Amino acid sequence: MSTKPEAELGRAADGRGVGERNEAAMPLRLTLANLSKSFDGTEVLHDISFDEDVRALAIIGPSGGGKSTLLRIIGGLEAPTCGTVSVDGRPIGTDEKSLRAYRATLGFVFQDSGLFHHMSALENVALPLRVVHEATPAAAEERARELLERLGLAEAAAKRPAQLSGGQKQRVAIARALAARPRLLLLDEPTSALDPEFTTEVLDVVRDLAEEGTRFIIVTHEMGFARRACDHVAFLSGGRLAEYGPSERIFEHPETPELQRLLSRLLEWSW
Ligand SMILES: Nc1ncnc2c1ncn2[C@@H]1O[C@H](COP(=O)(O)OP(=O)(O)OP(=O)(O)O)[C@@H](O)[C@H]1O
Ligand SMILES: [Mg+2]
C-alpha cells in the first residue's frame, strides 16, 4: 500500500489548529429528499425531506423515533429504502465503492467508543490514518499525538482502553474520528453510557471543537447541550421530522405538544 506524507494529510499546508478546517466558517449543505426506511416491511422513517446548511445540528426525540437510523443513513452506513442523501449538492451514491469513499470523509462516534482493546490510545487514533487514509506511520503518529493533547489526553496516549475512564475512552474515540479532518462529524449518543461528570467532559470537548469550526450532527438526549452548543435542532418522532429549526426557537417555542412534553421532561436532566 502506498503511504502519504504528512503534507498530503492536509496538516502542514496552512497551519490550521487541531480540530480546525480551512473552511471552518462554511456550513455543509445537507439535502435529504423523501427519505424512507423500512426494516422487514415496517417503515421506521417516513418521507423525510430536509435541505439546510449544517454547522452544529442536534437530532432529538423519543426512543425508537428513528434518530440512529437517520444518522446512519446520513453517514452512508445504512441504505434508505427510498429517497436520497446529498452533501453539498452531490448525491452520496449507492454502490459500495462510492459509499466507502464518502464514509472516509466523515468521522463517526457512537455510544460505545468501539476502540481496539489490545491497542494504546495513540495506536487507536493513528491506525485509521495509516490504513484508511494511507498516511505514513510518522505522520499518523504525529497527528494522533497532536489530537490527544488537544483533547486533554496526552497522559493517556500509551494506555489501553481498559486503563481509561469512560469519558477518556469517548474522547479518544472523538480524536480518532477527527484524525483525518472529516468534513462532518456524526455522533450518536456519545455520552449515554457515561456518568454525569464524564458526560460534561465529553460534551465540553464537542462544544469546543464546534467553536473551532468542526461541523457535526449529534443524536443526543442532553437537551442543555442541544440548546447551548447546537445552532439547529431536528425533532424526530415516530419516524417523522416533526419539528426543525434554530435551537433557540425549538427550545423557547416548541410547536408540537409532543416536543413540549419531551422538553419539560428532559430539561431537568440537563448538561
Ligand atoms: N437493524 C434493524 N432491524 C430492524 N429494526 C430496526 C433496526 N434498526 C432499527 N430498527 C427499528 O427502527 C426503529 C427506530 O430505531 P432507531 O434505533 O433509529 O431509534 P432511536 O430514535 O435511535 O432510538 P433510541 O433513542 O432508543 O436510540 C425502532 O423501532 C427499531 O426497533
Ligand atoms: Mg438510537
Instruction: Name the closest-CA residue to atom 31, ligand 1.
Output: 64
Domain total of the chain: 2
Tens of pLDDT, residue by residue over 56-105, are 999 999 999 999 999 999 999 999 999 999 999 999 999 999 999 999 99
Task: Quote the ligand 1 centre to 120 CA distance (angstroms).
Answer: 32
Residues 231 and 147 in one domain: no
Show the ligand 1 pocket: residues with CB < 6 angstroms: 39, 44, 61, 63-69
Q: Tell me which of 181, 201, 219 is where a domain ends.
A: 181
Residues 82 and 196 in one domain: yes
Residues 167 and 189 in one domain: no
Q: Tell me which of 149, 181, 213 is where a domain ends.
A: 181
Angle between helices 121-131 and 166-178 (to 10 degrees): 20
Tens of pLDDT, residue by residue over 211-252, are 888 999 999 999 989 999 999 999 999 999 999 999 999 999
Task: Quote the ligand 2 centre to 132 CA distance (angstroms).
Answer: 26
Is the distance from CB of 170 to CB of 198 less than 8 angstroms?
yes
Tens of pLDDT, residue by residue over 12-49, are 333 344 444 444 558 899 999 999 999 999 999 999 99
Q: Tell me which of 146, 181, 216 is where a domain ends.
A: 181
**Which band of pLDDT confidence, cut at 50, 70 and 90, is reported for residue 134?**
confident
Across the chain, what does the average pLDDT equal? 88
Residues 191 and 264 in one domain: yes
Residues 35 and 73 in one domain: yes
The rounded distance, in Å, linking the Cα atoms of 185 and 202 is: 14
**Which band of pLDDT confidence, cut at 50, 70 and 90, is reported for residue 263?**
confident
Residues 164 and 208 in one domain: no
Given this model, what pLDDT does residue 109 score?
95
Residues 85 and 131 in one domain: no
Q: Which of 39, 46, 72 to mutate to test the pocket of ligand 1 (most atoms within 8 A of CB)?
A: 39
Residues 198 and 268 in one domain: yes
Given this model, what pLDDT does residue 268 score?
61
Given this model, what pLDDT does residue 25 score?
54
Residues 133 and 167 in one domain: yes
Selection from 175, 177, 119, 115 nearest residue 147 by Cα: 175
Domain that holds residue 149: 111-181
**Pair type for strands 184-188 and 216-219:** parallel
Residues 97 and 33 in one domain: yes
The rounded distance, in Å, linking the Cα atoms of 271 and 238 is: 25
**Residue 137 within any structural domain of the chain:** yes
Q: Over 70: is that where the pLDDT of 147 sits? A: yes
For residues 171-181, give the mean pLDDT.
Answer: 93
Q: Give Cα 186 to chain centroid, integer Å.
A: 2
Residues 251 and 191 in one domain: yes
